[in-house]
Structure 1
Amino acid sequence: MKIFSSRNELTKTLSRILNMTRVLREFWFYYFGVINGDFQMIRVVFITLAFFLFAISPSVAQDTAPDWKKFGSEYLTYNGQALTFDAADLQRHQNRLRCVKMNNYGCVMGRSWQGAAGNDRAGHAIFEHPKWSVRAVVRDYCSKNRRGLRSAMQIAETYSPWCDTLGTVGVRNGWGRSCTGGPQPPAGFKGPLCAKPANGTPAAGQCGSCNCPDGVARGMAASVNAGINDNLALFGADGSPNVGNLVAVLGSKFRRETGFAVNEGLIKEGIELAGQCR
């Protein structure tokens, strides 16, 4: 069981425990006049109890990386304009910053990625530097490539399956979730279900309630002048990264995930860190 999510959290907890014992000591001496020897025993008891109370409580996941503003100012632009993430920027872009604050421009899940220092409550990785976020996405694309998932639609469907509602709830705006496992519509639900349309065109209202990965796929495919069902050619036959196509596709993905344009040099650095696709 993971008790503390970081050394800093452990330090804060121990400090709070010691402060608690000082308060208890003053309280005990004031009301009961207990001699010092007796208090030492009581202090041990209180420290032990306080430690276990903190230990069994769930550790608090962090939602930000320490240097996200510095990296954001260096690597992100909005409509061609540089960002400082001052109070005005924070107010203007407050709905775009969730993954940016974690140096996670690809909104990658999991904390086992190289360069990840933790994760938020939803499971998104918090990276020490955004280059590791780029690397993680490239490695994920590599994994998909090895499994034969090479078109924009195939990749997009793994991130946003047609069967899921927005927010992964049982029912969203009258549309029911049809994915196996997870939240389900209530028994007797008669509304439409989220599913891949037979003719490829989502029904009216579907994309406001369900995942519609075709939109994501179109953006990815357009970045390399391909169709949504064409091979994006992100890697060569020998596993070498196709840097030009990866830069274009990743740039499209990051822009859709965060609303910001990501510096091309950073993307290339992440691709280099990812290495060969084997």
Structure 2
Amino acid sequence: MNRYALCIAAVLLLAPSLGFTKEVTEVANWCSEGKKYLLFDRPRNPGDACKVIDSRCIRLNNYWCQKHTPGDPWEGAKDSDTNEPIQDPGKHAAFDSPVWSARAIAIDLRSKYTGVSGGKRKSEKDRLTSAFQIIGAYSPWCDTVGSVTETKDKTVGRSCSDGNRPGPNFAGRLCKAPTANETDPQNCIPGCNCPPTAARTLIQGLPGKTITDDLELFDKRGKPLPNLAIVIRNLAWQEHKRRVSDELVRRGIALLNEK
């Protein structure tokens, strides 16, 4: 074996320990899974379902666009040989099935709502219990619609602290929270996320709830309450304007404690 071949072999052997990831733009079964778990407003030929889906996350079986946590990839989105995460270039997890995606969002909501993550409890003030607080974590004021660095017409751009921001010559407005009346949608900037409006989507099907009320997603022991399934379905609609089946959400929640 020549030196070049030896180097390649060494890299392949070390790949798991080096933290390599597998990047994909879609998973092979996304279309068949979509036919099972996505709902459409009008009856259509099942073969047409895949033609109308253009969401990158749906093509990853990731209906809530969850990203991997560094060093702790989501279950159902790991390479079977290396145990390393499978994801797209934007680090969105690529799941074997949308059921694992439903589990991931349920886990994420439990962490945000209860304030417990990795067995550690955060302070009470760090808990996110209302629709307005939760949507602020998923669709923050600082981000553009679609998380593009700047809109095509260059009128607005991101101001989030993750580094993906317009260059120094950008002359448009930056997406950011208003200085007052954060729950008033009239303060939203076109082209930027609008948490007050998105939060109203989350409380659909929850009579009497306002966007600042406790959503009552989990009990004091961290067990899911009926409102959790409603909010998870609403989050999928908020993300893609696609409705997901009750069965998908039920199966994901059932896997909450799956290791």
User: Does the TM-score normalized on the shorter chain lie above 0.5?
Assistant: yes
User: CA separation of 1:187/1:203 partners in 2, compared to 1, >3 Å: closer, same or farther?
Assistant: farther
User: CA separation of 1:126/1:180 partners in 2, compared to 1, >3 Å: closer, same or farther?
Assistant: closer
User: Which of 7, 27, 33 is matched with 1:71 structurally?
Assistant: 33
User: Residue in 1 aligned with 2:145?
Assistant: 166
User: Which of 106, 111, 117 is matched with 1:138 structurally?
Assistant: 106
Secondary structure of the residue aligned to 2:255 is helix
User: Which of 208, 211, 226 is matched with 1:228 structurally?
Assistant: 211
User: Residue in 2 aligned with 1:151?
Assistant: 130
Secondary structure of the residue aligned to 1:206 is coil
- TM-score under structure 2 length normalisation: 0.74
Letter in 1 for 2:232: L
Q: Note the alpha carbon deviations across 1:119-178, whole angstroms, 9 max, x for none.
A: 111111111121111110010001101231011111111111112233545543323433
Partners of 2:185 and 2:197 within 8 A in 1:
no
Q: Note the alpha carbon deviations across 1:75-104, whole angstroms, 9 max, x for none.
A: 2121053662x3x4333x1423x2222111
Unaligned runs of 5+ in 1: 1-43
Identity rate of aligned residues, in percent? 34
User: CA separation of 1:48/1:144 partners in 2, compared to 1, >3 Å: closer, same or farther?
Assistant: same
Letter in 1 for 2:164: P
User: Which of 54, 65, 68 is matched with 1:107 structurally?
Assistant: 65
The 5 A counterparts of 1:114-129 are 114-117=75-78, 118-129=86-97
User: Residue in 1 aligned with 2:54?
Assistant: 95
User: CA separation of 1:66/1:95 partners in 2, compared to 1, >3 Å: closer, same or farther?
Assistant: closer
Give the count of matched residue pairs: 226
Letter in 1 for 2:176: A
Partners of 2:217 and 2:224 within 8 A in 1:
yes
User: CA separation of 1:131/1:186 partners in 2, compared to 1, >3 Å: closer, same or farther?
Assistant: closer
Distance in 2 between the 1:206 and 1:154 partners? 19
Distance in 2 between the 1:213 and 1:83 partners? 35
Distance in 1 between the 2:62 and 2:45 partners? 17
CA drift of 1:268 comes to: 0.9
User: Which of 24, 48, 51 is matched with 2:5 structurally?
Assistant: 48
Greater RCO (Cα-Cα under 8 Å, separation 6 or more):
2
Distance in 1 between the 2:157 and 2:59 partners? 32
Letter in 1 for 2:68: G
User: Residue in 2 aligned with 1:18?
Assistant: none
Distance in 2 between the 1:218 and 1:77 partners? 21
Secondary structure of the residue aligned to 2:174 is coil
Unaligned runs of 5+ in 2: 13-19, 79-85, 116-126
CA drift of 1:218 comes to: 0.6
Partners of 1:76 and 1:82 within 8 A in 2:
no
User: Which of 191, 199, 217 is matched with 2:199 structurally?
Assistant: 217
Partners of 2:114 and 2:222 within 8 A in 1:
no
CA RMSD of aligned residues (A): 3.1
Partners of 1:241 and 1:275 within 8 A in 2:
no
Q: Note the alpha carbon deviations across 1:183-213, whole angstroms, 9 max, x for none.
A: 34444766433222222335688132x1212
Letter in 2 for 1:238: R
User: CA separation of 1:167/1:265 partners in 2, compared to 1, >3 Å: closer, same or farther?
Assistant: closer
Partners of 1:168 and 1:183 within 8 A in 2:
no
Partners of 1:163 and 1:196 within 8 A in 2:
yes
- TM-score under structure 1 length normalisation: 0.70
Letter in 1 for 2:59: K
Distance in 2 between the 1:266 and 1:182 partners? 35
Larger Rg: 1
